[in-house]
Structures are given as C-alpha cells and as structure tokens.
Amino acid sequence: MVVLLAAGSTLTIPTPLVAQELALRAQTLDSQAQPGAESAIVVPYELASAGAVPDPQDTAETGLDDDPPIFPPDGFDQEQAQRPARAARATASTPETTSTARRSLDVQEDGTANAGPNRRARTLDSEERQPLDPRAERTGSIEGFSPRTEEDPYAPVGIRAGTFILRPSIEEGVTATNNADASPGGRSAVLSETTLRLNAASDWALHSATIDGYVTFRKSLSGQDTQDIRGRVDGTLNLELDHDWRATARLGYEAAPESASSPVPLPSTADRPLHQVIEGSLGIEKGVGKARLGLTGAVERDLYGDADLSGGGTLSQKDRNSTLYSATLRGGYAISPALIPFAEVEVGRRAYDERVDAAGYQRSADRLRIHGGTEFDLGEKLNGEFSLGWVREALDDDRLPAISGLSVDADIRWSPERGTTIGLRGTTTVEGTTTAAESGSILYSGRLTAERSIRSNLTANAALGADWRDYAGSNGHDRILSAEAGLTWWLNRYAGLTTRLRYETQTSNLPGRDYDATSLFLGLKVQR
C-alpha cells in the first residue's frame, strides 16, 4: 500500500504496479508545470491497458482488495494531464522506437514490471517461445530413410513352430574317393551322398532349449560296394531357477558304422558293426559371491551290433556293451567376469553288460578323473575353457593293468575379425577292448577349424585334425592326421553350391593298421 499527499488530500495506491505508474506521471507533470503554479502535484487515475491492472470498481465488487478506489481531486484538468501520455504513445509507435518500447513493457529479469503507459500483460506461454536456431539440423524425411544392412544376408530365415525357430537344410551331391570305407584294404568308388540337418532354438523369455542333428546317407554308384548311414542328435535345456540356481540338462544319440581305426581288431571277413552311443547328463550350479559351485551327473551307454561275416553268419559283439556312470563336482572362483579358474573331480563306474567276457576277463572298472583349468569370456572375440589333469580306470580283473594317463580338454572360439571364426577343440577318451590280455587305450583328439566370409555370398572353411591313441600296458600307438577345405557359393538365400576336399591318413606301429583316404565332394545345399 502506497500513500501520496496532494494538495491536502490523501491518495491511496492499491498495488505496487500502480504506484510506479503514478510516480512516473507525477514526474512528467511536474516538469511541464507553468511558473507560479501550485507546487502540489495531483495525479489522476487512469488504467494503463486492458487486463494489466484490475479495475478498482471490479476489485471492490469482488472483494479481492479492501483498499478504496482512486478518484482524481476536485479541480483537476483531465485533458491537460493526459497530453504527456498521448505524446509518449505516439513516440513509442514509430518504427525506431517500437523495439525499445516493447522491451520497456515487459517484465524485468528480477520479476518486477517495467513502468509505461502501454505495458501489456505477459501470457502464460510466452516463456516457451524460443527463437529458431539457424544452425539446427533438419530432420530427414521418412522417404529418405535407408534401412540397416543385414550382417549376414544369406543366413537361414527359419520356420516358426510354436515357440521354436526351425532351420532345416539338405545337401545332395557326389563324392569321389580312393578309399570308400577308410580302411587298410579300401578301394576307390563314386558315391551318392545326402545329408539332412536341423537346428531348432527356442525364443523363450527366461529359459532356453536347442536341438541340433544330422543324418547322412551314402551309397556307391560305381567302384567298391559301400552303403551306410550315420547321424547324431543333441538336445540342451537351460533352466534359470530361484536364488541364482541354474540347471542344465543334455541328451545325445549317435549311430554310425564302427571306424576302421577302432582299437578292437575284427576278422578281415567281417563288416564293421553298427556302434550306437546314448548320452545324458543333468547338472546344477550356483554362484555364491565370486565362488562358483556345480554338480553334474552323467550316463553314457555304448552298444555294438553284430558283425556280418562274408562267408555267412554273424559275430556277436555283446560283450563290448557297457555303461559309464559318473558324477563331477566343480568349484571355481571369478577373478573377474572374464576369467574364472576352476578345479573338478570326477568319480564313476564303467559297468559291462557281461561280467566276464568271452576271453574270461572281468572288464568293469572304477573311474577317477582330476582336472584344473580356467574359463574365459572376452565376448565375441575370445571365449571357452581349457583344462588339464589326470584320468585313471582300474579294472576289476587284477590280471589287467589300469588305464591311466594325462587328460586334456579344450573348447575355445576366437574371432580375430568380423567374418572370421577359429575354433579349437580337444578331448580325452578312455577306450575299452575285448582283446585278450589287453586293458584298452587312451585316445587324444584335437581339431582346429576356421571359417571365413570372403564375400557375403562366398564362405570358405578349413579344418586340421590330429589323433593319438596310446595302448595301455604296451608301446603300441596309432597316429591319425586329417585335413579338409571347402567353399560354399550362395546363389540366393535359400540355395548354394558347395564343395570340399578331404585327406586322412593313419600310421601305426601295429601291423595291418595303416591306410590313407582322399575324397572330393561336389553338391547343392538348400536351406530355409
């Protein structure tokens, strides 16, 4: 509330804004007063602009302000008092003063209103009106948007089946080889070869499941008479349980004619019997801080079919059938998320279906395996694990020495650059036998693979393999070396031409086991 004295009367100013305006007009009138006029200044009430200051009458009626309205004193010349205000408005309306006048009517930075007869009220959205930035980049139109290029434009699309994505493929071609059955007495032949493959992966939100399988049919078109079928299927189920527990279940099945490099010799007049392997495991693991604990139970079943003799009849292989039961306890410590050293202990029992074989030996055995190694995960560049230890199987028959030796396992994947993948896999397998007075052998297998995308529609692959078999209780050994190279040229996303060249050789210090085989395959691959 502001009070002014003028000619013995009292003027009451209801608000600070009106007080500023009246004070400004009082100074203007004082400067234009004639000599000898009264020194008292009387300022009339005049509304600056509509909506800027509430009308005193409206204010009094609504009860928003209890101050009495302002009335000019008696004898005041209204016309004379308004001349300076009209002159100021005329000056402010010229182009030169428009910008200055407008700035004088706005609210100052400290929140107070600038005085002026034509001050306008601020709007609520005036603070949001910002000037355009001439350097701002314009957003491109929808028509000019270029879609992201696929990383692998020739990858299989897949077929949805419920909650799974199926990726089937078929490969049909012809193989020319100088050793049709990869045996010491094998001969050349031209074979028709067909391979069916299937990959199925779930798209569940939490858990996951995968299925991988293949089956290959081979039949001679000319040369040595050969006909066989082989295949394998593997399934994996991962379950994420409560309290950071995780369960993994695996199941596998493989069937193929027994390899000519088998450690069990058969009569030359007998065909290679069918060998079937059934594998299953269930594991559970948990992380406790940086510690990693895991327990896995596994069962592996080996079945051998009867061998057909060329002169008629069959040779029974039932005494070779066995089942391996094992349990593995594993503990690790995460030095970092990318490096987890671990140690594991495996105990098991290999039980033969026949307690005593045809030669009178008890071949069931107790198994112990101790390993130490490390897991590493550096993303797509490098991941896998490597371990080293000792394995031993002690047979029940005291006449047979235990099978024992160094054990090496590896599964490493390395991608030095985009489009190139290199893999290294190594396994150690204890092999039984029914040969009289022999316990069995240890087979060390290693395989180095490489795959390279030369172009988006041209893929090259290569592989090198090495196997070493050490016979227990003797100095006998086998060495198997192999090499393979192939190319696939995709005609489109669904079909491509493929070829591969393979060479394999076995040398041994035991008689009658050396052989070599070279083969060339050319065919068509179709995928979905």
**Residue 54: CB partners within 8 Å, gap ≥ 6?**
64, 65
For 86, the 3-state DSSP assignment is helix
Reply yes or no on whether the pLDDT at 84 is more than 90.
Answer: no
Asked if 11 contacts 4 with a C-beta cutoff of 8 angstroms, the reply is yes
Q: State the pLDDT at residue 184.
A: 87
Q: Mean pLDDT across the stretch 47-65?
A: 46
Least confident of 110-124, 457-471, 491-505: 110-124
Average pLDDT, the chain: 81
Please report, to the nearest 10 degrees, the dihedral formed by the alpha carbons of residues 127, 132, 138, 143 taken in order: 70
Confidence label for 28 from pLDDT (cuts 50, 70 and 90): low
Any idea what DSSP says for residue 82? H
Sign of the torsion formed by the C-alpha atoms of 59, 61, 62 and 65: positive
Question: What does the alpha-carbon distance between residue 104 and residue 75 come to, in Å, rounded to a whole number?
Answer: 32
Look at the block and give the residue holding tokens 């490597």. Answer: 386
- Packing angle of the helix pair 95-105, 78-92 (nearest 10 deg): 110
Percent of the chain with pLDDT over 90: 58
| Residue 44, CA distances (Å) to 37, 78, 311 in order | 18, 7, 137
Given a contact cutoff of 8 angstroms between Cβ atoms, the answer to whether 500 and 484 are in contact is yes
Least confident interval from 176-190, 258-272, 274-288, 468-482: 258-272
Cβ atoms of 7 and 38 within 8 Å: the answer is yes
Pairing of strands 339-352, 307-308: unpaired
CA atoms within 13 A on the CB side of 86: 6
- Give 256-289 as a 3 state SS string: EECCCCCCCCCCCCECCCEEEEEEEEEEEEEEEC
Tell me, what DSSP letter sits at residue 311?
Answer: T
Residue 210 CB contacts under 8 Å (≥ 6 apart), including other chains = 199, 200, 201, 202, 235, 236
Q: Is 80 a residue whose pLDDT tops 50?
A: yes
| CA distance linking residue 13 with residue 44, whole number of Å | 11
| Interstrand relation of 227-240 and 245-257 (parallel, antiparallel or unpaired) | antiparallel
What is residue 506's DSSP assignment? E
Answer whether 236's CB lies under 8 Å from 246's CB: no
Which residue do the tokens 């489009």 mark?
Answer: 419
Cite the residue boundaries of each domain of the chain with CATH code 2.40.160: 159-527
Q: What is the CA radius of gyration of the chain?
A: 47
- Give the model confidence (pLDDT) of 228-247 as tens digits: 999 999 999 999 998 889 99
How sure is the predictor about 455, in pLDDT bands with cuts at 50, 70 and 90? very high
Which carries the bigger pLDDT value, residue 494 or residue 119?
A: 494
- Read off the pLDDT of residues 147-205 as tens digits, 9 standing for 90 and up: 566 778 898 999 999 999 999 999 999 999 999 988 888 899 999 999 999 999 999 99
Per-residue pLDDT at 101: 42
Q: What angle do CA 98, 100, 104 make, to 5 degrees?
A: 115
Q: Are 475 and 441 in contact (CB under 8 A)?
A: no
Amino acid at 508: S
pLDDT at 112: 46
Site of tokens 């314009």: 138
Least confident of 54-58, 183-187, 401-405: 54-58
Provide, rounded to the nearest whole percent, the portion of the chain with pLDDT above 70: 71
Whether the predicted pLDDT of 67 surpasses 90: no
Q: What is the fold, at CATH topology level, of the domain defined by 159-527?
A: Porin (2.40.160)
pLDDT (tens digit per residue) in 289-342: 899 999 999 999 999 998 888 777 888 889 999 999 999 999 999 999 899 999
4 vs 183, higher pLDDT:
183
For 90-146, how does the pLDDT look when each residue is reduced to its tens digit (9 = 90+)?
444 444 444 444 444 444 444 444 444 444 555 555 555 556 555 555 555 555 555
Residue 97 CA to residue 105 CA, distance in Å, equals 12
Residues linked to residue 432 through DSSP beta bridges, in sequence order: 440
Phi and psi, residue 393, nearest 5°:
-125, 115
CA–CA dist 371, 387 (Å, integer):
6
> Rounded distance, CA 85 to CA 22, Å?
12
Of residues 437 and 216, more confidence is placed in 216
